Amino acid sequence: MKAELLNEFYLLQRSRASVDYHEMMEEQVYMPVKRVNKKMTTWISERGHMLMNLDVRLNSSLKYLRKKYLKF
């Protein structure tokens, strides 16, 4: 039984063209990974920009408050 299954698997692999296998891998594995990578890098980039803008606003607010209330 095991030998028959191995033989069937071998024949299945031989009947499949390498181009079909490559296209199948591209379609089912690489493309979803590329989409997720793009989504994550976009999300991280947007979050970084948001945090940098928040830091700039906070620093300008602190600078204004220091000038107004902490006069020595």
Residue 17 has pLDDT above 70, yes or no: no
Mean pLDDT, the chain, whole residue set? 86
Per-residue pLDDT at 58: 96
pLDDT digits (tens, 9 = 90+) for 47-61: 999 999 999 999 999
Per-residue pLDDT at 2: 77
Per-residue pLDDT at 59: 95
Q: How far apart are CA 26 and CA 20, in angstroms?
A: 10
Q: How far apart are CA 16 and CA 19, in angstroms?
A: 8
- Chain center to CA of 52: 21
Domain ranges of the chain: 2-69
First to last CA, the chain: 91
CA angle 54, 60, 64 (to 5 degrees): 145
